Structure 1
């Protein structure tokens, strides 16, 4: 944002300015007030005047709105009854007492007649793709669901060489930069059975290869998680392995994985980030007690952050549940899990610290695995795309 200079208005002796006029005439005071206004209200305030519009839509103002990590306020999930060409989404608000309006039911404001699906959410922005026909190419979009603005990612020159895409991930940290990056994992053109990385930056422009050496890996590239300046991928079954890609140094590395028992029924059921913390949950589907792991920022080890016991036989049958999300807050006691109970088609909020539980909403029935793979956090944001 351009340097702000105090402009104290001069009023004649006959004119008695109101407090509102004085505040409105001093830019930095007005900005300080607007920064304390909920984002959904700021969207309405853009119509107050051209000056307010200029302040609220300034990219630097959007960064100031994110000086503290903004936590998610809800989840959007693929509707069980939507058609592939017309994806619909259910919304699970985290605040049952004061639920916000759903951010969207569909993404029709993205002008693509083949329908839009969500691939990843990252700090207020979402990565989307269309559902192309056999004759059409896949298009990728970066969208801000709060402002309903989006941009179409450019085509890669490697698309003409039939290099299959195995995963594409969004990296965005509004505390560091108003710009985002997209990391694409493709088949190597030069080395069969190997991968190569392409990277796109909203600041510098077109896709380019990152690194010279193709590589081999056994992870799920379709589910990348951005944290601590890197994209992270893990395998969720079999011999658990991991891979992380640092965007500043454009280097690949491996992070440790927590120990798993020999019991083949134990697997990773959640891997995600919340308020700048990376979490992993693993448990057997025959138990209601499990540990929540958190990764140290130096990647030295995972440690047990929470111990969860969902033994509440009088309230719900927790032997059939899916962890949709783990949400952290500014206070330790704000941490909670969002659980899906597929048999009852309910979304529940479980407070990890005080062990309380409440129903958030009912959702349209769907296979629980679909929800596990496709639950995306919604964070309000004014950031530009």
Structure 2
């Protein structure tokens, strides 16, 4: 082809803003971040909030986004470091070093945005941020009502770019220390304003509601609980409602961990029991009308060891050797996959064909896990999974 014709065609595309936008919309987020350096025109186009929203919505499938990777953090270890588990393609996820702090805790992941907390050991003060790891853009949160000293204070995020470009921050704040009386504060990015004490409510000591463990699904923010009931917030209506929780197992099988999550508009909860070398994982699904949970399946990790003999689960007297349970959908299939960290490898149980599969194996002799100086045994650590979505979403309320 004549080089002059090629240059002429490139110039025509470059000068046609609409055509260029349609081409760029079809590229992955990582490529778009690099292409911001091509020219001021491309930087302006790719940084435009309307373009970013259109690009994000193109990633949806049947009304839902699907994560690119899982970020695994070890519980109680405050660090900007984490392990990356690719789900679609290998993605070099940016660490959170651009938030300048040695102590960082991820609180929640929600459709491409993260809520993070930083701790200042010297002043015993926490700061909160929302950020997009793909673009390294972040925003510090400022509250109209700060937490009382030693009082309960929880921050959650409600964000679904397939429905709205705006997000809301929900704060559950204890009114008086040890009172079990809470207030809800809500920040809306659309108005860039707070509503303080939109709801005042009281919990019971036996409810065991974990306001630090929240899941946003179908326009509602749900909180995990180790009791028989919990709460969820209809974010649009700002209405708080009760919901049942799965009935704890009876007998000598005491539940020790509940993994709370969502996929494809459905709520899931997986429970493990505190018993010597207990390798069972009970997977529950919430009914669509929120009337009850039903037991979807009892998974036994011993079956996984038969498929993958290299796994050595149940070798530690006080830990089963698996954690980091997450629920991940498939773009072409109806059923969910239960993704699990197991003895340093990432496996899943696929409900579509009822089979155990390997998701990520770091290689012979290698295991995913925190450096051993933190723990006496690899299985003593408990991973918390956070879904990562590649997104060029930008904050308009900076």
User: Which residue of structure 1 lines up, in the alignment, with residue 345 of structure 2?
Assistant: 346
Instruction: Say whether residues 1:109 and 2:98 are aligned partners.
Output: yes
Alignment partner, residue 371 of structure 1: 382
SS in 2 for 1:130: strand
Using a 3 Å threshold, how does the CA distance of structure 1 residues 19 and 293 change in structure 2: closer, same or farther? farther
Which residue pairs with 1:282 in the alignment? 271
Deviation at 1:35, TM superposition (A): 1.8
Task: Report what 1:76 is aligned to.
Answer: 71
Tell me, in whole angstroms, the C-alpha distance in 2 between the residues paired with 1:191 and 1:308.
38
Q: 1:18 to 1:131 in 2, by over 3 A?
A: same
Q: SS at 1:65's partner residue? A: helix
Measure how far apart 1:245 and its partner are: 1.1
Aligned equivalents of 1:54, 1:211: Cα separation in 2: 39
2:201 is aligned, of 214, 237, 243, to 214
The alignment status of 1:246 with 2:238, answered yes or no, reads: no
Task: Provide the rounded CA distance (Å) in 2 between the counterparts of 1:80 and 1:222.
Answer: 13
CA shift at 1:41, angstroms? 0.7
2:179 paired with 1:179 = no
SS at match of 1:272: strand
The one of 266, 269, 287 equivalent to 2:258 is 269
Q: Is the 8 A contact 1:183 1:198 kept in 2?
A: yes
TM-score between both structures, scaled by the size of structure 1 = 0.81
Q: Secondary structure at the match of 2:212?
A: coil
Relative to structure 1, is the Cα distance of residues 304 and 205 closer, same or farther in structure 2, using a 3 angstrom cutoff? same
How do 1:23-102 and structure 2 match up within 5 A? 23-67=13-57, 68=60, 69-78=64-73, 84=78, 86-95=79-88, 98-102=89-93
Give unpaired runs (5+ residues) of structure 2.
315-319
TM-score (norm 2): 0.79
- More deviation, 36-45/214-223: 214-223
Separation in 2, partners of 1:189, 1:283: 33
1:47 CA drift (Å): 1.7
Q: Distance in 1 between matches of 2:23 and 2:122?
A: 52
- Is there any run of 5+ residues in structure 1 with no aligned partner, and where? 1-13
Which one is further off, 15-24 or 149-158? 15-24
Distance 1:282 1:80, change over 3 A: closer
- Paired position in structure 1 for 2:290: 299
Question: Residue by residue, what CA displacement relative to the aligned partner does 1:312-369 show, whole Å, maximum 9, x if unpaired?
Answer: 443234553224312102222784332122xx33333443333142243321246657
Report SS of the residue matched to 2:211: coil
Distance 1:380 1:56, change over 3 A: same
Task: Compute the displacement of 1:123 (Å).
Answer: 0.6
